[in-house]
Chains A and B, each alone.
Chain A
Amino acid sequence: NAGVTQTPKFQVLKTGQSMTLQCAQDMNHNSMYWYRQDPGMGLRLIYYSASEGTTDKGEVPNGYNVSRLNKREFSLRLESAAPSQTSVYFCASSLRGNTIYFGEGSWLTVV
């Protein structure tokens, strides 16, 4: 019952450092997503991948890059972390047109 797995769960970065958040799903879903959650803001879409080999910007893509490595994996990279990127990040996946399933979240602090 793995579902959507994301790593790491917690990370502290210094301003300017880079890191990659990893995400994998074992449900054979076509679409994958990265969201960020900030207090009082709900969840906002950063990037999504409709299918293997495609990626598109969401609502708040600046400062991030993504890679859809294969059908299972979708990574999110911060090239030069900023304090404004302190947030909780959620990876999610869905089969075309159906329910979205979320991972458990990655808590990132940039100091």
Chain B
Amino acid sequence: GNSVTQMEGPVTLSEEAFLTINCTYTATGYPSLFWYVQYPGEGLQLLLKATKADDKGSNKGFEATYRKETTSFHLEKGSVQVSDSAVYFCALSRGRTDYGGSQGNLIFGKGTKLSVKP
């Protein structure tokens, strides 16, 4: 079945360091891939997404490229800030051809907690 595996945390970095959070997936068909971020005490917010192979999602300095050949969607940021401290979730949904509720059935990784120190 479909699944998402992301690197376990916590990850602790100094401000302005380079960030990579690994995410690999197993899926049939053509899933869409997502990164969500959860700040302390809040719900999840979409950070970026990619809907087909070789697409690059980007937002707020974060990037991730949909690599079908390696079934990966690693999250990167060149220079992290203290305000980036949060839990990051990689997720996939079923293929573009699924409609209705099934398209929104996201399968989440377990989350990676990032702490950025000044």
Report B97-111 CB contacts with A as 1/0, cut-off 8 Å.
011111111101111
- Given the known interface contacts A94-B104, A100-B104, the answer about A42 and B99 at a Cβ–Cβ threshold of 8 Å is no
- A96 to B100, Cβ gap below 8 A? yes
Beyond contacts A42-B108, A51-B100, A104-B42: 4 other A-B pairs, Cβ-Cβ < 8 A, are: A42-B4, A96-B99, A97-B99, A99-B49
Report which A residues bind B (CB closer than 8 A): 4, 30-31, 33, 40-45, 48-51, 54, 56, 58, 90, 92, 94, 96-105
- B46 to A48, Cβ gap below 8 A? no
| Residues from chain A with Cβ under 8 Å of B98 in the complex | 97
| Residues from chain A with Cβ under 8 Å of B4 in the complex | 42
Any A CB within 8 A of the CB of B89: yes
Question: Which of B45, B101, B106 is close to A50, meaning CB atoms less than 8 Å apart?
Answer: B101
